[in-house]
């Protein structure tokens, strides 16, 4: 039986059944009302009640069945499954219709159903987090069963080229074994992130101070959308700009100083990434600086301090937790940024302190590995998931610290729009 027919059977059964259920439920309620019985709820609510609770078993059984198929458990053939679900729905329709009396709390039951539906939607976001974790974790564990975890975390040589030979069944004694020492990759990631933060934090925080303390209302209204534009530029566009415009500029500039810079230098990628993060830090810092109570500022001004002194002594210390949280979110964003580094940084793991040399990052490696046509079970492919796991754990910790800080800050100043 083809899929189209199955869809037709399912929806062709479900919707008419629910519609009929609505009519029957409503009519029953109306007829009871006509017999001068005082009903608990409105007739249409009885209609909804019967309709929704008829649909519920049908959808539940079908969804559960489909999931079982995905795990290769075939309790019933698909046609039988849907037929079974539909007939169960019909049975529950008849049963519910009989059960309606003046004490049936249709309104509460319908609203309970809606609340359940809303709760279900809420679970999607939790499932997403677990989905990410699971999709990375299993492959990463498989990777660490093959390669040494210790070497991955502390090894300084990343040379997986032979892994794909092994994957192709040609691993042998004559081929040197693959090395998965990820230190150069982590170093490159943190180095580029560091450069980005050196750009983003001062520009972002000072911009926020200007916006919230110095700019007039009209200027603020004009500049905010412009900063939103900066925040809305896709990272692939930043990446192109970094590779095509910024990199040659840097190479020329350092050549004029007699220094040799790579076209894929950490500096170029870092600067552009920093600019990408400026609006994130600026807008979050702006929020927290605005949240500093006016009366504390006035206290300082009333002591004969000027505005700049007040900002430095009173406003910034009050806003500091929020600014730190904003910076942390920026760091997390920089660590996981992909397109800028894919386009403007290099593929070569390179352990160096020189910002003019090329470096690679975790995200670049993940993209490199997963875009190529790799056998899914080779160590090289699995290494992408191991790198992904490290990225997940690091950003998770940073995010949670940052979120807690912001929540505490907002609680302190009784504002709650994170």
Partner 1 sequence: MEQQNININVAKREKDNKDLRVKVEARDLDLWYSDNHALRNINMDIYEKKITSFIGASGCGKSTFLRCLNRMNDLISDVTIKGKISVDGHNIYAPGVDEVAVRKKIGMVFQQPNPFPKSIYENVAYAPLMHDIVKKGSDCDELVENSLKGAGLWEEVKDKLKEPGTALSGGQQQRLCIARTIAVKPDIILMDEPTSALDPISTQTIESLMLSLKEQFTIIVVTHNMQQATRVADYTAFFHLGEIIEYNETEQIFINPQVSKTEQYITGQFG
Partner 2 sequence: MEKNDDYFYIPQLKKRNRNGKIFKWVCASALISALFFLFIFLFDMVRQGYPAFTQAYIETEVTFNEDLKSNPYSAFDSDSFSIISRAWMRGLPRMMDEDPSLKGTEQKIWALANAEVDQYIKGHPHKLRDREQKIVDRMLEEGSIESKFNVIFFLTGDSKIPENAGFYSAIIGSLLTLLVTMTIAVPIGIMTAIYLEEFAPDNKFTQFIEININNLAAIPSILFGLLGLAIFIIFFGVPRSSPLVGGMTLALMSLPIIIVSSKAALKSVPATIRQAGFGLGLTRWQIVRDHVLPLSLPGMLTGSIIALAQAIGETAPLIIVGMIAFVPDAATNILEPATVMPAQIYTWSGMPERMYIEKTAAGILVLLTILLSMNGVAIYLRKKFHTKW
Which residues from 365-384 bind partner 2, rule CB under 8 A? Answer: 366-367, 370-371, 376, 384
Choose which of 60, 313, 400, 407 interacts with partner 1 (CB under 8 A).
Answer: 313
DSSP letters spanning 54-83: HHHHHHHHHHHHHHHHHTT--SS-HHHHHH
- Work out which of 51, 193, 300, 332 binds partner 2, going by CB under 8 A: 332
Radius of gyration of the chain (CA): 30
Residue 159, SS3 per DSSP: strand
Residue 303 binds which entry of partner 2, partner 1, none, CB below 5-8 Å type-dependent? partner 1
303 sits near partner 2 (criterion: CB under 8 A): no
Q: Is 133 in the site for partner 1 (CB under 8 A)?
A: no
Q: Which two tokens stand for residue 308?
A: 């700049």
Which residues in the 172-231 window bind partner 1 by CB under 8 A?
216
Q: Which stretch binds partner 2 (CB under 8 A): 86-94, 110-118, 150-158, 172-180?
A: 110-118
Residue 304 in the binding site for partner 2 (CB under 8 A): yes
* Crossing angle of helices 316-336 and 266-291, rounded to 10°: 140
Q: CA–CA separation, 326 vs 281, rounded Å? A: 5
Position among 73, 176, 229, 257 found at the interface with partner 2 (CB under 8 A): 229
Cα–Cα distance measured from residue 92 to residue 44, given in angstroms and rounded to the nearest whole number: 19
Stretch that binds partner 2, among 55-63, 170-178, 257-265, 327-335 (CB under 8 A): 327-335
Interface pick for partner 2 out of 86, 243, 250, 314 (rule CB under 8 A)? 243
Query: Which of the stretches 23-31, 90-98, 160-168, 338-346 binds partner 2 when contact is defined by CB under 8 A?
Result: 338-346
Q: Which H or E run contains 52? A: helix 43-70
Q: Does 295 bind partner 1 (CB under 8 A)?
A: yes
Cβ 140 vs Cβ 389: under 8 Å: yes
3-state DSSP: the chain helix, strand, coil percent, rounded to 5? Answer: 75, 0, 20
297 binds partner 2 (CB under 8 A): no
Rule CB under 8 A: is residue 139 a binding residue for partner 2? yes
Q: Report the C-alpha gap between 104 and 41 in whole angstroms.
A: 8
Cβ contacts of 399 within 8 Å, gap of 6 or more: 328, 329, 332
Out of partner 2, partner 1, none, what residue 333 binds, judged by CB under 5 to 8 A for its kind, is partner 2
* Residues in touch with partner 1 (CB under 8 A): 216, 293, 295-296, 298-306, 309, 313-314, 317-318
């Amino acid at each position: 039986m083809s899929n189209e027919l199955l869809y037709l059977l399912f929806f062709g059964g479900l919707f008419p059944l629910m519609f009929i259920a609505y009519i029957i439920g409503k009519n029953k309620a109306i007829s009871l009302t006509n017999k001068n019985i005082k009903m608990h709820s409105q007739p249409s609510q009885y209609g909804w009640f019967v309709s929704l609770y008829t649909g519920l078993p049908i959808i539940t059984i079908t969804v559960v069945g489909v999931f079982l198929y995905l795990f290769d458990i075939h309790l019933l053939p698909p046609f039988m499954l849907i037929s079974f679900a539909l007939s169960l729905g019909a049975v529950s329709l008849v049963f519910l219709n009989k059960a309606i009396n003046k004490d049936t709390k249709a309104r509460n039951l319908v609203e309970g159903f809606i609340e359940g539906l809303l709760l279900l939607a809420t679970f999607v976001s939790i499932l997403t987090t677990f989905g990410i974790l699971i999709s990375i974790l299993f492959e990463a564990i498989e990777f660490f069963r093959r390669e040494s975890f210790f070497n991955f975390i502390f090894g300084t040589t990343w040379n997986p080229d032979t892994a794909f030979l092994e994957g192709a069944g040609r691993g042998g004694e004559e081929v040197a074994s693959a090395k998965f020492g990820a230190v150069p990759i982590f170093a490159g990631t943190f180095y580029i992130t560091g450069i980005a933060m050196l750009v983003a934090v001062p520009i972002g925080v000072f911009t926020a101070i200007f916006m919230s303390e110095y700019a007039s209302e009209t200027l603020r209204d004009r500049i905010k959308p412009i900063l939103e534009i900066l925040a809305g530029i896709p990272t692939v566009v930043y990446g192109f700009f970094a590779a095509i415009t910024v990199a040659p500029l840097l190479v020329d500039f350092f050549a004029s100083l007699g220094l040799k810079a790579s076209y894929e230098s950490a500096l170029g990628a870092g600067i552009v990434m920093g600019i990408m993060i400026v609006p994130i830090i600026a807008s979050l810092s702006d929020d927290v600086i605005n949240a500093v109570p006016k009366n504390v500022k006035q206290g300082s001004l009333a002591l004969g301090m000027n505005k700049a002194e007040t900002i430095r002594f009173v406003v910034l210390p009050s806003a500091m937790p929020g600014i730190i949280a904003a910076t942390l979110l920026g760091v997390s964003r920089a660590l996981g940024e992909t397109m800028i580094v894919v386009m403007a940084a290099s593929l070569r793991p390179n352990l160096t302190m020189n910002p003019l040399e090329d470096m690679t990052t975790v995200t670049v490696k993940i993209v490199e590995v997963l875009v190529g046509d790799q056998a899914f079970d080779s160590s090289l492919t699995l290494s992408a998931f191991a790198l992904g796991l490290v990225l997940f754990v690091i950003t998770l910790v940073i995010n949670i610290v940052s979120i807690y800080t912001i929540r505490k800050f907002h609680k302190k100043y009784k504002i709650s729009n994170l």
